[in-house]
Amino acid sequence: IAFLEECHPDAELAPRDVVSRAIYRRMIATHARFVSLDMSSLSSPSIRFPALAKICREFGIDIETETIPVRPAVHYLVGGIKSNLHGQTSIQGLFAVGECASTGFHGANRMGSNSLLEGLVHGRICGKNISKYATAERRWLSPVLENVQPQIDAELNLNDMTYSLKSLMWSEVGIQRSAAGLEEAHELLKDWESYLSRLAPFTPQGIEVLNMVQVAQAIARCAAYRTESRGAHYRDDYPQSSEDWKVHTCVRADAQQFVITSEANKWAAPKTA
């Protein structure tokens, strides 16, 4: 049964956040793990989409005659480490570029293929600046590892912790958010951070999982702070966008707590008379 026509005039060609929410709600309503994409009405879909056809064939699906099981997934992070147009962060000598950087280029909802342009243009600019900095500065900075202690005698399954973290973020900080779900996520993440800080092994995986939990806390706090819906950030308790929230939100860890501030949108379109 086609359902996207009921959600947006452009149906399957609607913005990705609209389509993702529609699929997500459909899956919940039907208790299904996916919805089906039917391409049989298109002329020669295998020729028009050869890469997709190849992948589907590997899973035994013929897109000419069969439907394709699809579901939303995390695809791109439009936020990230705050940096300027030269890639410089608030830490001297630390540069951020690409998906890990928050340049503000994409706003709240990235347009298709814009990340490629960002990588090409911003990557070139940052590469030049990093080269200049590295040539002028010969100091090596020692890594700062706070809170992580050598593992004591305790069973800690990092793979299980990673899976639990991803599951929590998907269910409470994912496509559809609410104050109750974000608060539940915050409380769990706070407990997990305390647990990992005491018991995580002093290994790359141990430090990485702890960092993932800390970043997840920052995302959950920012999502709770922004009491509106905008682009990929959708709250069912605040489903509309607000003019008051045409700002960038920034979060930083300060004395074991997160401090959130708002900044003017530097890419805002000029007002017309």
What CATH number does the domain containing 18 carry? 3.90.700.10
In a domain, 146, yes or no: no
Residues 61 and 102 in one domain: no
| Cβ pair 224, 179 in contact under 8 A | yes
Residues 167 and 206 in one domain: yes
What does the pLDDT look like over 18-30, one tens digit per residue?
899 999 999 999 9
Residues 257 and 200 in one domain: yes
CATH number of the domain at 178, please. Answer: 1.20.58.100
33 φψ region: left (φ > 0), alpha (ψ -120 to 50), beta (else): alpha
In a domain, 149, yes or no: no
Residue from 65, 98, 94, 62 nearest 80 by CA: 98
Cα separation of 227 and 111, whole Å? 23
Residues 66 and 94 in one domain: no
Tell me, what's the pLDDT at 78?
85
> Nearest 5°: phi and psi at 264?
-60, 145
Residues 115 and 176 in one domain: no
Residue 113 domain boundaries: 81-135
How many domains does one find in the chain?
3
Tell me, what's the pLDDT at 273?
44
Average pLDDT over every residue of 225-234: 94
In a domain, 162, yes or no: yes
Residues 21 and 54 in one domain: yes
> Which tokens is 67 given?
């439907």
Residues 202 and 254 in one domain: yes
| Cβ pair 40, 57 in contact under 8 A | no
Residues 164 and 92 in one domain: no
In a domain, 210, yes or no: yes
What does the pLDDT look like over 54-95, one tens digit per residue?
999 999 999 999 999 999 988 888 888 998 888 999 888 889
Q: Which of 22, 39, 70 is the last residue in one of the domains?
A: 70
What does the pLDDT look like over 97-118, one tens digit per residue?
888 888 878 888 887 778 888 8
What's the chain look like in SS3? CCCHHHCCCCHHHCCHHHHHHHHHHHHHHHCCCCEEECCCCCCCHHHHCHHHHHHHHHCCCCCCCCCEEECCCCCCCCCCEECCCCCECCCCCCECCHHHEECCCCCCCCCCCHHHHHHHHHHHHHHHHHHHHHHHCCCCCCCCCCCCCCCCCCCCCHHHHHHHHHHHHHHHCCCCECHHHHHHHHHHHHHHHHHHHHHCCCCHHHHHHHHHHHHHHHHHHHHHHCCCCECCECECCECCCCHHHCEEEEEEEECCEEEEEEEECCCCCCCCC
In a domain, 142, yes or no: no
Q: Which of 70, 99, 126 is the last residue in one of the domains?
A: 70
Catalytic residue among 16, 124, 138, 139: 16
Residues 90 and 62 in one domain: no
Cα separation of 9 and 164, whole Å? 37
What is the rounded average pLDDT for all residues in the chain?
87
Least confident of 35-39, 220-224, 251-255: 251-255
Residues in the chain: 273
Q: Which of 70, 100, 119 is the last residue in one of the domains?
A: 70
This prediction's pTM: 0.84
| Residue 58 or residue 5, greater confidence | 58
Burial letters 227-239, b for 16+ CB under 10 A, else e: ebbbebbbbeebe
Mean pLDDT is highest, among 74-78, 179-183, 196-200, 248-252, for 179-183
- Among this protein's residues, is 16 annotated catalytic? yes
Cα separation of 43 and 45, whole Å? 6
